[in-house]
Amino acid sequence: MKHFCFGTSLVFSLATAVHADSWDMPTPYGDTTFHTQNIAQFAQDVASATDGALEITVHSGGSLFPHGEIRNVVRSGQVPIGEFFLSTLVNDDAAFGIDSQPFVATSYEDAARLWSAQEPVITELLASQGLMPLFSVPWPAQGLYTNGEIATVEDLGGLRFRAYNAALEEFAALAKAAPVQVEAPDIPQAFATGQVEAMVTSPSTGVNSTAWDFVTHYTPIDAWVPKNIVVVNERAFRRLPENVQEAVLAAAEVAEARGWEMSAAEAEAQTAVLAENGMTIVEPSAELTAGLQEIGAQMLTNWQANASEAALSILTTYQGQ
C-alpha cells in the first residue's frame, strides 16, 4: 500500500512538472506604474486559477527587453507574452495610432468607444503577425509639464520636448518644439541632464517620475487617452492546455476591466499628488486650447492621408456611434 502511494504521488508530480509552464513577460514601465501593478495581479490570477500550471514572471521597466523590441520578441517567440504602448506600432498601420491623435477621444467614455471600434481592426492586424491581444488599458488623459506657465502654443516654441511615439514627435514639431525620444523610466535622468525640458504625459507618469523635481507647472490639456496592450504569441498560447487557455482569457478580461478602473482613479489622485508636491496646476487658456486643437486637426489630416481603409473605418465607426 505504501509502495502504491509512493508510485501515485511520483506519477502525479511528474505530470505536474510536464504540464507546468513558466512564461517570461517583458513590460516597459516601472513597478510603481499602475499598468505594471495590474499586470502583476493578472499574473497572480492566472497562477491561482491554474493551480500553478502557468506561472508568468513579469520583467518590468524594460529590464528584459527594451520597449521598442517587445513586440518583435513576442512575435518571434523569444518570449510568449509582453506589454507595450499600442500606438508605437503606427508604422505598421495607422490603425494602431488613432488613440494618440489629439482631441479624437479625450474622456474615458470616448476612449472606451474608440477602443471598441479599434479592437477588431488591430486584432486582425496582430493576427497576421501571429499575435493575439489579451487586454488593453488606457493611461489617464495626457497633460503638459513645463517650467513656468504655457499660455499659448507659441510658448512651447524651441523647447526640448520629451516624446514617446511618432504622434508626440509630430505634435512637438508642429508646436515648433524640439522632440527627443525618451522612455518613461529614463524621464528623470533626461530632465536632470537637460536633454529635455518639457513633456506631455499622464499624471501617473508625472508622479512615477517625480516631475516636481524638474518642472513647476502641470496643464491638464487632456488631449488624448492612449493605451498599453498585452499580447501573446498565438502559437505559445495554443500550446497551453485548453483549461489554462481559458483561465488566461478570463484573467485578461478581468485585468482589462480592473485596469480601466485603476486608470480613472489615478487621473484625479495623481493630479492631486502633483499639487501636493508643490506643482502649480493651471487650466489651459482658451488660446492654448485653440492652438492645440489646430495642431490636432493638422495631425488628423496627416493620419487620414496615411490610413488604410480598415484604419479609416475605425474613425467612421467611432464617429457614427
One residue of 84, 103, 115, 139 binding ligand PCA per CB under 6 A: 139
Helix (H/G/I), strand (E/B), else coil: 76: coil
DSSP 3-state percent helix, strand, coil across the chain (nearest 5): 55, 15, 30
Number of Cβ atoms within 10 Å of the Cβ of 132: 21
Contact between 219 and ligand PCA (CB under 6 A)? no
Rounded to whole angstroms, the Cα distance separating 281 from 262 reads 22
Helix (H/G/I), strand (E/B), else coil: 260: helix
Rounded to whole angstroms, the Cα distance separating 134 from 83 reads 10
Contact between 226 and ligand PCA (CB under 6 A)? yes
Helix (H/G/I), strand (E/B), else coil: 62: coil
The CB-of-242 to ligand PCA minimum distance in angstroms stands at: 35
Contact between 205 and ligand PCA (CB under 6 A)? yes
**Contact window for ligand PCA (CB under 6 A) among 104-112, 197-205, 241-249, 290-298:** 197-205
Residue number with CB closer to ligand PCA (46 or 200): 200
Contact between 23 and ligand PCA (CB under 6 A)? no
The CB-of-115 to ligand PCA minimum distance in angstroms stands at: 15
Rounded to whole angstroms, the Cα distance separating 165 from 199 reads 12
Site string for ligand PCA, 259-298 (x = CB under 6 A): ----------------------------------------
One residue of 184, 221, 252, 295 binding ligand PCA per CB under 6 A: 184
Residue 307: what are its φ and ψ, rounded to 5°? -90, 140
**Contact window for ligand PCA (CB under 6 A) among 17-25, 115-123, 200-208, 233-241:** 200-208
One residue of 23, 85, 191, 214 binding ligand PCA per CB under 6 A: 85
Rounded to whole angstroms, the Cα distance separating 316 from 99 reads 14
Burial class of residue 111 (count of CB atoms within 10 Å of its CB; 0-12, 13-18, 19+): buried
| Contact footprint for ligand PCA (CB under 6 A) | 85, 139, 142, 164, 184, 201-202, 204-205, 226
